[in-house]
Every structure is written in structure tokens, then in C-alpha cells.
A and B are shown apart, each in its own frame.
Chain A
Amino acid sequence: MHQVIQAVILGLLIGGVYALMASGLTLVFGIMRVINVAQGALVILAAYLSYALFSHAHVDPFLSVLIVTPAMFVLGVLVQIVFVRSLRGDDAEELSLLVTWALALGIEGVLSVIFKTTYRATSPSYADKTLTVFGYQVQFVRLMAFVGSAALLLVLSLLLTRTKFGRAVRATVQNPTAATLLGVDANRVQTLSFGLGVSMAAAAGAVYGVIYPFNPGSHYDLISRLLSIVVLGGLGSLGGAVVAALVMGVTEAVVAVEWQPTWASFSYFIVLIVVLLIRPQGIFGVRERAL
């Protein structure tokens, strides 16, 4: 039993970071119906930026979030304006898949040229520090990553529910025409939201490199996980993405400990298939657009 609880703790900690990455993906999908398949590559880009800041300027990877996140918010805004906004018409959603996939490959290519394909890891002095809480081992960096992710998700949630901008975002998700008729600038909402989505990937990516080794091709694994999290949670549902990410983290950790590590990733997909058979719209998915 001790081992299972230990695995659950580990799974929750990892799930929290994935929730942050997936929140950006589901936010952008909810507002624009754009599946940003570059989200994984953007996480890896942020991991490299954080790694570079740590290696060359000795900036702590957790503090680097304060630099990487705003920088990538700006990048997200530019990407939306240059590549995504111009997509119009009935096939805009399908085209956005191609455009963001091209962006992912572009990021991978640039990173491969600069950093080569060698695996890297951001290793601050406390990387191996472990805490013991009620007899359970908790790796310090994973705890920090979880707390940071939870705090950012809380900020995102408050932004969406307690501010005028957030109300405009939710309105645009639920009824874009009505929102426009009330004076919401849909272009502005979409651009800022895309930037916000990328900055969530950035914040998670900045600490990703402390937890996992990564190379430019790591985004393939990431995006498949993120997409399945968003689908399980319900496309466009922020709460759903958080719950699905935690389910994924715990499922994989428990299966790895209780059964075999090789079945860990596959086990989550079994959960995904079973849930979708029962609820095709995902755990928190609704027929109407929602955040």
C-alpha cells in the first residue's frame, strides 16, 4: 500500500505540470477551434531557453519562468498574428493543424541546429534533493514544479472568471457572434488568448527540463500526451484538462509500480478509450463550448 500511495503522489506531481501544458492547448482550442499541435514543441523550446539561461547566465530554472513566460507570450502573439489569424473559411480548423505542425517542425529544426540532438537536462544543485513527508519520498524539484503549476493554473482560472478580459474570453467561447455584438474584439481576444496558451506551455517547459532530459524531438511524445489529456478532459474544458492530466499522471505511476513500467504509457490510453466509449465528449466536455 505504501508503494501505491508513493506512486499516487508521484503521479499527481507530474500530472500537475502536464495540466499546465494542456491548459494552454485547451484554452486555444476553446476560443479559436485551433488545435495547436506546436504546443509540445513550444514546451521544449521553453525548456531549452531555461536551460540556456541556467547554463550561460546561472539563472535558476524556476526563476527563469519569469523571463521565459513573458518572452514566449510575445512569441505566441506574433505566431497568432502572422500564421493563425489569416486562416479563414470553412477549412480554417484543418489548415491550422498544418500550420501549427509546420511551426512545431520549424522549432525542432532550429533547436537541432543550435543544440544538436543530444539529450540535455537542467540540473540545479538541488536537483536530487528529496523531502520526506509522512514517510513518503517527494523529490523537491517535482514538488516545486507542481506548486508552481498549480499557482499558475489558479491565476489563469481567476483571470478567466474574475476579470473583464476573462468574461470576454468565456463569452467568445460560448457565442462568438453575440460577443462581437456586445463589442468584444474577437481578434484581440484570440491573439491574447493564443499568447496566454503559449505562455502556459512556456512556464511548464521552463521546469520540464529539471524533471526530464529532453532533446529537440521530445515534442512528439509530449504532444501525443497533451492531445490525449485534452480529449479525455473534454475539448475546450480547462477543468477537464486538469483532471485528465492528474488521471494520466496517477495511472501511469501506479501501473509502473504495480505492474510494469513498459505498460505505464499504454495504460493511460486504455483509460482514455474506456472513458470515450462511455462519454464521447470527454469527462467535462459539453455540447456547448465551455471553458
Chain B
Amino acid sequence: MAEPLLQLDGVVAGYGRGDILRGLDLALEDGTVTCLVGPNGAGKSTVLKVLSGLLSARQGRVVFAGDDVTRLSPAQLLGRGIVHVAQDRSLFPLMTVWDNLLMGGHVLSDRALVRRRADAIAERFELVRERRDERAGELSGGQQKLVEIARALMLEPKLILLDEPTMGLDPKARHLIFELVGEVNEEGRTVLLVEQNARAGLAIAHHGAVLDTGRVALTGRGSELLEDPRVAELYLGGAAAA
């Protein structure tokens, strides 16, 4: 594997006095989709929180594009090109879709650039274009998630962290989200995906990593993990994919 875009070495992190990540090692290849799977409490979302600066690593090191970014704040990490689309609905419900989009460029000081990027995203996403003046809280769950991902593109990120983007969505909306993940990746952006529907997540991922009790238990290509009987038995609810 070429020099990884992102590398986590022995990361320990948690909440209160407990550790959730217990010496986690993980590397992401540039321009790929990697899906994290594992049981509840394995630390999948915690990995994303450490990477976006929402949670500080107690030990270990995070290297992004060759630089140590372990102690950087969320704003600094955004500046480096790491954006995090959180698990819960993260639009500002009483702000318009357009204002939500502009918030995606909050760390940019050039207002004209923010406007240009927002216009480009409105051009790309029909939903944003048509509903721009409506309150974000009035959109459906799937539409809100699409706008959240669109907002994440405001910074033209190198790495997008997606935490269970299809949770609670109907099949049609899930399909749209996975399609968008594919598009974003085809643009050359690296995606780290946490997906409750592990089978669907691994199916669209180049690589997968199985987390167990705060460590990476297994890694491999997405398709390989789907066919691995150990993964199927433990995390995919039965027989390996055909």
C-alpha cells in the first residue's frame, strides 16, 4: 500500500474514566472508501470523533497527509480537509437550507469563496436549489442527510467521515445516500464510513475494518470481509454473501 492518507497508531480514547478505543491501529488509503463494522460499543463512532477533534486521544498518534494532527481542534482539522457528518441529524432545524450550507464554510474567511462554493453545491444538488429558503427541519430524514453531506462538501474535503448516514432511512433514501457516497469518492475524496447495515456498507467499500472492544480485529477488502465466515457469523447476521 502507498503512503496512507490517514494513519492511527495505538489510539486510546474514551469518555469519563473508561476507554472505548484501546490501542487502535488503522490506515486509510487515499481515494478509497473504508467501512468500519463491529458490534455496538466497539468504538466505531469514537474513531470518527477522535479524527474530527470532538474527542481527544489519550494516547497514540493520528497522522493525516504526513502531519501529526492528534491534538488539533475541530476547526484546525477542518482546515486540513477532514469533515465529519455526525450520526444524529446535524442540520440546524430552524435555519434555512441555504444558511445551513453557508455554515459548512464557517472556517473559511473569504466570503466570496463561501458564496461561490454554495452556488456550486446548489447547482449540483437539486434539493438544495429547490428548498434553499425552507427551514432545514421541514425536510425529510433522507433529505436532511443529503443536505448534511452536501454541506460537508463546502470545504472540498480530502477525507469525509460518515457516521451511520443511512440510519433510520427508507430503502430509497438509503440508495440515494450510498449513490452519493460513491460519487464523492469518484471525485477523489477518501471516505471513512461507519454503517449499521454492515453488509451494504462493505459492499460499496474498497476496504473494511472490523472493530471489537476498541481494537481492529480484522481488515481486508470490503468484498473479502463480506465473504469471510467469521465476519458473517459475528456481524452480518448469518451466512457470508454469495
- The count of A-to-B residue pairs whose CB atoms sit within 8 angstroms is 64
In whole angstroms, what is the CA distance A112 to B52 when docked?
51
Q: Mark B8-42, 1 if CB is under 8 A from A, else 0.
A: 00000000000000000000000000000000000
Q: Is the CB of A178 within 8 A of B92?
A: yes
Name the residue among B54, B78, B92, B151 with the largest chain A CB count within 10 angstroms. B92
Interface set, chain A 30-44, CB cutoff 8 A to B: none
Please name 19 further chain A to chain B contacts, defined as beta carbons within 8 Å, in addition to the given A177-B86, A288-B93, sorted by A numbering.
Answer: A170-B99, A174-B94, A174-B95, A175-B93, A177-B88, A177-B90, A178-B86, A178-B92, A179-B92, A181-B52, A181-B54, A181-B86, A182-B151, A183-B75, A184-B75, A184-B106, A288-B94, A288-B137, A290-B94
Q: Is the CB of B54 within 8 A of A171?
A: no
Instruction: Give which listed residue, B88, B94, B104, B111, contacts A182 with CB less than 8 A.
Output: B104
Instruction: Give which listed residue, A174, A180, A183, contacts B92 with CB less than 8 A.
Output: A174
Q: Is the CB of B74 within 8 A of A181?
A: yes
Instruction: Give which listed residue, A167, A185, A286, A290, contacts B103 with CB less than 8 A.
Output: A167
Q: Is the CB of B106 within 8 A of A182?
A: yes
Interface residues on B, range: 20 to 34
Taking Cβ atoms with an 8 Å cutoff, the residues of B that contact A are 52, 54, 74-75, 78-79, 83-84, 86, 88, 90-95, 99, 102-104, 106-107, 111, 137, 151
Task: Kindly report which residue of chain B lies nearest to residue A184, judged by CB atoms.
Answer: B106
The smallest C-beta distance from A187 to any residue of chain B, in angstroms, reads 10
Residues of B within 8 A of A288 (CB): 93-94, 137
A245 at the binding interface (Cβ < 8 Å): no
Task: Kindly report which residue of chain B lies nearest to residue A186, judged by CB atoms.
Answer: B74
Q: Is the CB of A175 within 8 A of B92?
A: yes
In whole angstroms, what is the CA distance A290 to B93 when docked?
9
Q: Is the CB of A178 within 8 A of B90?
A: yes
A164 at the binding interface (Cβ < 8 Å): yes
In whole angstroms, what is the CA distance A211 to B107 when docked?
45
In whole angstroms, what is the CA distance A290 to B135 when docked?
12
The smallest C-beta distance from B114 to any residue of chain A, in angstroms, reads 9
Name the residue among A171, A183, A290 with the largest chain B CB count within 10 angstroms. A183
Q: Is the CB of A183 within 8 A of B86?
A: no
Instruction: Give which listed residue, B75, B91, B99, contacts A178 with CB less than 8 A.
Output: B91
Task: Kindly report which residue of chain B lies nearest to residue A185, judged by CB atoms.
Answer: B75
In whole angstroms, what is the CA distance A167 to B74 when docked?
18
In whole angstroms, what is the CA distance A198 to B59 when docked?
41
Q: Is the CB of B137 within 8 A of A167?
A: no
In whole angstroms, what is the CA distance A286 to B93 when docked?
12
The smallest C-beta distance from A160 to any residue of chain B, in angstroms, reads 11
A72 at the binding interface (Cβ < 8 Å): no
In whole angstroms, what is the CA distance A184 to B78 when docked?
11
Task: Kindly report which residue of chain B lies nearest to residue A172, judged by CB atoms.
Answer: B92
Interface residues on A, range: 10 to 19
Residues of A within 8 A of B91 (CB): 175, 178
In whole angstroms, what is the CA distance A167 to B92 when docked?
10
A141 at the binding interface (Cβ < 8 Å): no
Q: Is the CB of A180 within 8 A of B54?
A: yes
The smallest C-beta distance from A175 to any residue of chain B, in angstroms, reads 6
Q: Is the CB of B103 within 8 A of A181?
A: no
Q: Is the CB of A167 within 8 A of B78?
A: no
Residues of A within 8 A of B84 (CB): 181
Taking Cβ atoms with an 8 Å cutoff, the residues of A that contact B are 164, 167-168, 170-171, 174-175, 177-185, 286, 288, 290
With A167-B103, A290-B94 given, is the CB distance from A183 to B137 under 8 Å? no
Instruction: Give which listed residue, A171, A180, A183, A185, contacts B95 with CB less than 8 A.
Output: A171
The smallest C-beta distance from B194 to any residue of chain A, in angstroms, reads 15
Instruction: Give which listed residue, A178, A179, A183, contacts B78 with CB less than 8 A.
Output: A183
Instruction: Give which listed residue, B52, B74, B78, B103, contacts A171 with CB less than 8 A.
Output: B103
Residues of A within 8 A of B102 (CB): 167
In whole angstroms, what is the CA distance A60 to B88 when docked?
53
> Which 3 A-B residue pairs are closest in the complex by CB-CB distance?
A183-B107, A178-B90, A183-B75
Residues of A within 8 A of B90 (CB): 175, 177-178, 181
Q: Is the CB of B78 within 8 A of A182?
A: yes
Instruction: Give which listed residue, B74, B83, B111, contacts A180 with CB less than 8 A.
Output: B74
In whole angstroms, what is the CA distance A180 to B94 when docked?
17
In whole angstroms, what is the CA distance A126 to B11 when docked?
70
In whole angstroms, what is the CA distance A174 to B104 when docked?
15
Q: Is the CB of B86 within 8 A of A164?
A: no
Residues of B within 8 A of A168 (CB): 103, 106
Q: Is the CB of A182 within 8 A of B95?
A: no
Q: Is the CB of B78 within 8 A of A174?
A: no
The smallest C-beta distance from B111 to any residue of chain A, in angstroms, reads 8
